[in-house]
């Protein structure tokens, strides 16, 4: 029995010694190690596509027009029916002054004009142009006196020629005629002076009526009230600000285009604008281009008009603009999910004989259609989608 137990123990030790070295060798050579599953991937082909050639810039939206409105005449504010954020239309009344003093001035000017007309002998309905200097009362009187003095002079001359009138009396009559003649000329000048006074009174009446009309403040543009600076009952001097009105459609986007890209900018080119805080893309066009570069940063000022009929955009918002300088530009694109970025390096994994080959690339624009590849990949190459932490040379299989 003892001999049997010794035989069994010896057999177990011999089998252990003979199997352990083989397993160690297999492990050291990599044979017999269970291998993991090969990663399944999806791929896409790098293709050339026709896209728009763009100049990408940023800027801030500004109102196309902003107007600070104030009254042309001083007075006390009677009413301001608008406030901050109120929409207004061109020609809309936005404030009024108390008109009592201005109405009194109009009546005063009307009375002064009527007085000047009476002095010229005009009827209430008679036109000012119908004034005949010779037919005015003062001119008729002076002419009658001059005619009488002329008649006396003619009779005196006849008597003097016959020796029936002393020379002293003749000289007196002659002097009287000259005085009457001068008075007649003076009367004509007086009529002309009254005509000028009539024109002055007419202008004063027009000014008074204009001042009365200026007690109503109208907006010259359509827009929105940005600021209200006055209140009802407040006395304002002429020109004091009442409200600020901004025109919000179209808006103006000022952008600085680098000198190397400015040569392709032209007036009228379409622009796609995206705005922080506003969804969607908004259409615009290049409206104005500066004639010279900014010497400090070597950029060209370009202004874009952005349509804002719906009023969703606000002046002052930061904007991203894409100026379309050419259509149909051929670019090599790969899907966005195929590009991996790490530590500032962009790369893709291409499929080559069931292996993933890492390729460093230089990218251009990131579009909805994909990422533009400038260097590193050729057209027709098969790239792996969503490579994640894939290693260079890793075996892969295409997922059907």
Rounded (10°) angle between helices 100-119 and 167-213: 160
User: What is the Cα–Cα distance from 273 to 316, expressed in whole angstroms?
Assistant: 14
The total number of residues shown for the chain amounts to 400
Non-local CB neighbours of 15 within 8 Å, separated by 6+ positions:
none
Q: Is the dihedral of CA 98, 99, 101, 102 positive or negative?
A: positive
User: Does the structural domain 55-65+248-328 have CATH classification 2.40.30.170?
Assistant: yes
> Could you say which DSSP state residue 325 is in?
E
The four Cα atoms 94, 97, 99, 100 give a dihedral, to 10 degrees, of: 150
Burial call 205-236: b when 16+ CB within 10 Å, e when fewer: beebeebbebbebebebbbbbbebebeeeeeb
What average pLDDT values come out for the chain (400 residues) when binned by 10 residues?
46 43 38 60 88 86 93 96 94 96 96 90 71 82 92 91 89 92 91 90 96 97 94 95 94 92 91 88 93 92 92 90 84 90 89 89 84 89 89 85
**3 token code pair:** 């001999």
pLDDT value at residue 27? 41
User: What is the Cα–Cα distance from 131 to 121, expressed in whole angstroms?
Assistant: 8
**224 token code pair:** 């929105």
Name the pairing type of β-strands 39-41 and 270-275: unpaired
User: What is the Cα–Cα distance from 385 to 396, expressed in whole angstroms?
Assistant: 12
Burial class (CB in 10 A: 0-12, 13-18, 19+), 66: middle
What strands lie across the sheet with 216-218, from one edge to the other?
Answer: 216-218, 93-97, 75-79, 235-236
- Radius of gyration from C-alpha coordinates of the chain: 50
Q: Alpha carbon of 74 to those of 203, 206, 213, 229, 367: distances in Å?
A: 20, 18, 13, 15, 59
User: What is the Cα–Cα distance from 151 to 174, expressed in whole angstroms?
Assistant: 10
C-alpha 164, offset from chain centre: 96
pLDDT value at residue 130? 67
User: What is the Cα–Cα distance from 198 to 21, expressed in whole angstroms?
Assistant: 134
pLDDT value at residue 118? 86
Q: Alpha carbon of 259 to those of 55, 91, 286, 293, 304: distances in Å?
A: 11, 43, 17, 8, 17
pLDDT value at residue 128? 67
What residues does each domain of the chain span?
40-53+331-398, 55-65+248-328, 100-214
Non-local CB neighbours of 393 within 8 Å, separated by 6+ positions:
355, 356, 357
Q: Alpha carbon of 143 to those of 102, 165, 172, 185, 194: distances in Å?
A: 43, 26, 19, 9, 18
Stated pTM of the model: 0.62
User: What is the Cα–Cα distance from 110 to 358, expressed in whole angstroms?
Assistant: 94
H helix runs in the chain, sequence order: 2-29, 100-119, 137-161, 167-213, 259-262
Name the fold adopted by 40-53+331-398.
2.40.420
User: What is the Cα–Cα distance from 335 to 33, expressed in whole angstroms?
Assistant: 37
């Amino acid at each position: 029995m003892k001999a049997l137990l010794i035989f069994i123990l010896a057999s177990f030790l011999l089998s252990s010694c003979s199997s352990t070295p083989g397993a160690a060798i297999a492990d050291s050579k990599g044979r017999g190690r269970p291998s993991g599953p090969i990663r399944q991937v999806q791929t896409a082909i790098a293709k050339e596509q026709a896209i728009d050639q763009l100049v990408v810039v940023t800027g801030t939206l500004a109102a196309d027009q902003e107007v600070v409105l104030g009254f042309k005449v001083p007075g006390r504010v009677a009413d301001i029916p608008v406030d901050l954020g109120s929409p207004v239309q061109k020609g809309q009344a936005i404030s009024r002054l108390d008109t009592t003093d201005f109405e009194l001035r109009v009546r005063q000017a009307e009375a002064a004009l009527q007085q000047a007309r009476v002095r010229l002998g005009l009827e209430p309905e008679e036109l000012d142009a119908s004034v005949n200097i010779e037919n005015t009362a003062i001119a008729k009187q002076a002419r009658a006196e001059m005619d009488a003095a002329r008649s006396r002079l003619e009779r005196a001359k006849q008597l003097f020629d016959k020796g029936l009138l002393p020379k002293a009396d003749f000289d007196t009559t002659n002097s009287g005629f000259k005085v009457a003649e001068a008075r007649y000329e003076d009367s004509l000048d007086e009529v002309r002076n009254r005509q000028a006074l009539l024109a002055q009174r007419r202008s004063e009446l027009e000014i008074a009526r204009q001042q009365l009309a200026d007690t109503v403040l109208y907006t010259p543009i359509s827009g929105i009230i940005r600021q209200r600076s006055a209140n009802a009952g407040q006395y304002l001097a002429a020109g004091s600000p009442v409200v600020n009105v901004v025109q919000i459609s179209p808006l103006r986007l000022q952008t600085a285009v680098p000198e190397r890209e400015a040569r392709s900018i032209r007036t009228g080119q379409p622009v796609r604008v995206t705005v922080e805080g506003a969804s969607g893309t908004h259409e615009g066009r290049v409206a104005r281009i500066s004639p010279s570069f900014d010497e400090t940063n070597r950029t060209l000022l370009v202004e874009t008009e952005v349509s804002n009929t719906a009023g969703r955009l606000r002046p002052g918002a930061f904007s991203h603009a894409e100026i379309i300088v050419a259509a149909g530009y051929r670019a090599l694109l790969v899907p966005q999910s195929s590009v991996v970025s790490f530590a500032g390096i962009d790369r893709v994994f291409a499929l080559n004989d069931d292996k993933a080959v890492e390729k460093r690339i230089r990218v251009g624009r990131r579009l909805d259609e994909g990422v533009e590849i400038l260097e590193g990949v050729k057209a027709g190459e098969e790239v792996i989608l969503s490579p994640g932490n894939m290693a260079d040379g890793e075996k892969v299989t295409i997922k059907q």
